[in-house]
Amino acid sequence: MLFRPACLSSNNRAIVRAPTPRPATGPKPARRAARSATDEAVAVRPVRRGDLDQVIALDATVTGLEKQSYWRAVYRRYGAGLHEHRHFLVAVAGKRIVGFLIGEVRDWEFGSPPCGWVFAIDVMPEARQAGIGTQLLQAVCTLFRREGVRKVRTMLSNDNTLILSFFRSQGMMAGSLIPLEMDLD
């Protein structure tokens, strides 16, 4: 497969996971917590080399693994605005990186006309439920539109309900592609 979800943890789950078990009902403490974590206005911009340490720390918080060399390689491939159709965006509150998203336009893969792929998104756990993921996704969609694509896709583990719910809340639905896999002996 040419499309490789670059941000997988060691147990092959997508990078973003539920921070805590979700209560089915009850009040909404998450939004209040998120506000206190992001009192400053959040801006989305392309990643800079100086952001990498915070991105690596954020990823380590979520996945439990610090992957220095991996992230430096991702930065070379997607960062610094050096690559057409490749986007590595960060959400910044003051000087703090509170989220990031990586995506790119892929042409004619999986038999599909050019479309945008989002293959990594993460928001600092205490800053979730404050619209930062939405800001990141909208930013990359704006870039994708400018690049002429009219469809955006993503792929993640079917038990990652938190992030599945996020993408669905943005209007994403199951698409025409079916992911298949098998174990290699």
Judged by CB under 8 A, the residue of 11, 20, 158, 176 near another protein is 158
Cα separation, 162 vs 53, in Å, equals 25
State which residue, 181 or 185, has the beta carbon closest to another protein. 181
| Contact yes or no for 127/99 (Cβ under 8 A) | yes
Tokens of 134: 């939405």
Least distance CB 66 / another protein (angstroms): 29
Site string for another protein, 99-138 (x = CB under 8 A): ------------------------------x---------
Asked if residue 159 binds another protein (CB under 8 A), the reply is yes
State which residue, 83 or 168, has the beta carbon closest to another protein. 168
Least distance CB 82 / another protein (angstroms): 35
Judged by CB under 8 A, the residue of 1, 23, 57, 108 near another protein is 23
Least distance CB 8 / another protein (angstroms): 17
Measured CA distances, 30 to 3, 91, 166, 168, 175 (Å): 34, 19, 14, 19, 30
Asked if residue 45 binds another protein (CB under 8 A), the reply is no
Residue 166's nearest CA partner among 141, 129, 140, 139 is 129
Residue 153's nearest CA partner among 2, 6, 1, 3 is 3
Q: How many CA atoms lie within 13 A of 44 on its CB side?
A: 22
Asked if residue 26 binds another protein (CB under 8 A), the reply is yes
Asked if residue 165 binds another protein (CB under 8 A), the reply is yes
Cα separation, 33 vs 18, in Å, equals 15
- Give the interface with another protein as residue ranges (CB under 8 A): 22-28, 129, 158-159, 161, 164-165, 167-169, 171, 174
